[in-house]
Structure 1
Amino acid sequence: MKKLAIIGCGGIGRYHLDHFLQFRDIELAGFCDIILERAEAFAKAAGSGQGFTDYKEMYDAVQPDMVFICIPPYAHGDIEFETIRRRIPFFVEKPVALSLDLAHEIRQRIQEAGLITASGFQCRYSNLVEPTVEFIQDHEIVFIDCVRVGGIPGTEWWKKRALSGGQIVEQTIHQFDIIRYVFGEPDTVFTMGTKGYVTDVDGYDTEDLTTTVVRFQNGALAAISTGCYASAGASADSKVTFGARDSRADLYILDKLRVFEEKQAAVEDSSLVVKGDGAMNGKGTTDTVYRQEGDSGLLCDRTFIDAVLSGDPSKIRSPYEDAVRSLAFTLACNESLDTGLPVKVNLD
């Protein structure tokens, strides 16, 4: 039976552990965290394995066949290099780094070692992906409108952009990634941000809200807005809208997809617009709804484990190499935010 280890026994590590506890064909052999009690708590929950505070010591003792790296964004680097040196296939949580140079170096070493890798973009494994792709293939998408608005996560490091990357890189990278996955590659981004609305969180220095304009390689445009200023769910309707000339698809990630397909009629009798001015309303449209089924995170984890067990990585939807491109997309937004200039996205 293949042995699995986890580095990082915090919230995201527990998310993966809950999945592993449903599997019967792997041995949960090692758990590592800078706080030993957390690692030991994972071993107790698993009913197997041992807790460690040093990942090299764990590697020596356990000799794992695969590892899940569930560490904060600022902690990437040495762990990946040592894991690659030991030729251990690994799954790494997003964002895979905060430096594109570091991510490129890790990517290069992975390629040289020929390792199986995956990253934590579980949204790619949703059953909503296929109908979204079908809609995009059947319609010429002109505009993508994306909103993700929430509050500030409870982890201490998240509040510092130097440690987390800020909301674009640490959280909304899921939206940037799924847009890349179902639609296509970005060419250029221009990002603006604002602060001053979050005033009750000590040590907080990232943007409260950002809006990014994206030009894709095929010429389409997107507006991606994300904020952490909200105190209630009524603050915003978080979704991704793919808009064509005669229809649209609203993707509520890991929840539902709503497709509106009939042509909309010109407004004839509204006193608020000039007759024939091109305004449209939604009367007469059809609304087809697809619902999320199952746990896409479970499928994401299972796919990586199956790839290691079989030696066939072909079903992994987000290997490390591709995760680096989503990182590049979001880091370009941060560069634009800091410079006030449009930035070309480096996908190489």
Structure 2
Amino acid sequence: MGLKNFICKDVRNQNEPKRGIVTLRIIYIVMMVAFLLDLVIAGWGAVKYSPYKIGLIFAAIIILFAITYNSSTKVSLTLFLMFTFIFSLSLIPCFGWSAGMQNYFITMLMMCYFAVHAGMAFKIVLTLLVLCVRIVTIFIYSGTLPETEISEVSGKMIQSVNISAVFLLTVIISYIYSHRENIEESKLMKYNDSLAREANTDRLTGLYNRRYASDYLDSVKKAGTLGAISICIADIDFFKKVNDTYGHDAGDLVLKSMAEILRNECGENCLVSRWGGEEFLLIFSGVNGDDAFTMLDTLRKKIKNHVFTFGEQEISVTMTFGLTEYDFSGNIDKTIKEADEKLYRGKTGGRDRVVY
């Protein structure tokens, strides 16, 4: 916990972004550890041969790490890029070309893109600069042997340490600079989903609203190959009497309970929506009119026998259904109007029935 606080300590200037500074501190720690491991593996001979160079590199890492607590991100980042050039190019002769010191250029490249706050043109220039230096190192240092004798096994171990360090830094930099964006993107997606649900859902009943049902019918109209489609408009009988007798809270309870009954009984192939007031629109996909009529008549009987409980009050209602089958060669708006006319006939004909 102490190390985390030490690394994540904010800079003196409150206006400075913290993320870049924290990333640089982690990079310096990883580079320091990797450099120590390289020296341990290479043995005392490497230290004895270049003591001043090694001492200066250690001192530079410590000083640059300390500078991150007092300087701006821009200054610290510039110093890091300069140091990484020097670090890589000065240690290639020490450990040899195969040690992979030149791979630290990848870390520079990533920081150029993630941490540098500048236009894309400037970042491209930095990228080309890093690329040019990397190519030059091939011509100058390719095949360079270490200054001191290092066994083949030790050489491979040093190479593994440096490659692992670069891989680790790549993962760390990518995580630090993408984690917040991923969280924000996830939050935005969830928020957009909630907005979409709210826009398409009736707040009281939780059913799809008229807007969504209309959009769905438009998609049905355009598809034209979904098989039989049966459309029904259902209306609670004498619902105004429920509100007048028991109050609007009781009416809301009946609407919510009715929505749950319709959702549970109509099945997965039926889209249930609140069409308006106490009216519901049912769209049966892949169900012809005869089968839909059988299902609705069974549903009608269940609703008639169901008791809605509001406090100590027991409320019973019935429902009337107007059903028609959609002909894909016809007009879907006309089909809805036909279902509505059949509902009206059911209302005038005594209610509590399915008119098909």
Alignment TM class, shorter chain as reference: under 0.3
Please give the TM-score of this superposition, normalised by the length of structure 2. Answer: 0.19
Computing the radius of gyration from Cα coordinates, the structure with the larger value is 2
Whichever structure has more helix as a proportion of its residues is: 2
Whichever structure has more strand as a proportion of its residues is: 1
Greater relative contact order (CA < 8 Å, ≥ 6 in sequence):
1
